[in-house]
Amino acid sequence: MGVRKLRDVVTMVHVNRLIREAPMDVQVKRLEDWWVVAAGKNPVRTPAGTPVVSHHRELIDEVAGDIAKYGTDPTAKTTMYSLQSSYLDFGIPVKREALEENTAAIWPDDLFVHRPASPEYDMPLLALWGRIDLDRAGFRDALRKLTLRQLMATMTAGQVLRTAVLGLKVVTTDRELVPMAMGACDRYFTSLGKGMTLSKGYWQVGGSSGRHEPTDMDKTYCSRTCCAGKVKDLEKFRERCALYPLFDKMRRWAAFPEEIEKAG
């Protein structure tokens, strides 16, 4: 049964009133060949009204856990719920070519490609992210080879992190995620400018770099360890960095098999 048909078959009451409420008491239930996240007798729905479903129990359990913890506002935090919602609302019904074009459009402002000219910023990024190893045509070609999940995760990275190219590397390689997260973090990146003056054309310390600033930051760890250049224990970084879970969720979500076979 396809997702659109599922909308017609499910007769439960819409639960838009639950949007933005957290935490939520949710359960995972079986409906034919789908697993559904439900709040009582009602299905939890995406912003477009699609029941939150998956064929994969492991995935839907994590989606339900994120809903219970963070609620159902997909703009508040990138979670398994927001990724699956985007997939159900846009990935499946929208033409593949349009999804690729939307992702490719990020290129002119992509932070992975367009790096600061000053070595004080560029050299740390080179160590964290590596060299720029594809041009615009190569990026478009890479998008055409992605699975639908990988494409949606790459698009999400472009929207949330302002770098779809970095998202591409997250979902298509097994590279360590810690340096990727550090290079994408506004707080870490601006900390590289300590000691520089505005007269030299550098940003003021503490100003925004245009990078992502995560919510729920562990400010003590950020200032005393990460931004102080003292990250040695990668496992502790994974536990305490507020941005790392976004990268981890994108990679793991993109690795699940597709929900349906999509033509074109």
pTM confidence score: 0.85
At residue 96, does pLDDT exceed 70? yes
Tokens encoding 214: 């995560």
Q: According to the model, what pLDDT value does residue 215 have?
A: 79
Beta-carbon-side half-sphere exposure of residue 109 (alpha carbons within 13 Å): 12
Q: According to the model, what pLDDT value does residue 214 have?
A: 81
Mean pLDDT confidence for 111-132: 89
Q: According to the model, what pLDDT value does residue 47 have?
A: 95
The model's pLDDT over 159-209, given as tens digits with 9 standing for 90+, comes to 999 999 999 999 999 999 999 999 999 888 888 866 343 334 444 444 456
**Percentage of residues of the chain with pLDDT beyond 70:** 84
Task: List, in sequence order, every residue forming a beta bridge with 51; answer none if it has no partner.
Answer: 45
**Percentage of residues of the chain with pLDDT beyond 90:** 68
Tokens encoding 115: 């790096």
The model's pLDDT over 30-42, given as tens digits with 9 standing for 90+, comes to 999 999 999 999 9
At residue 149, does pLDDT exceed 60? yes
The model's pLDDT over 48-89, given as tens digits with 9 standing for 90+, comes to 999 999 999 999 999 999 999 999 998 889 999 999 999 999
Q: According to the model, what pLDDT value does residue 209 have?
A: 66
pLDDT greater at residue 251 or residue 118 = 251
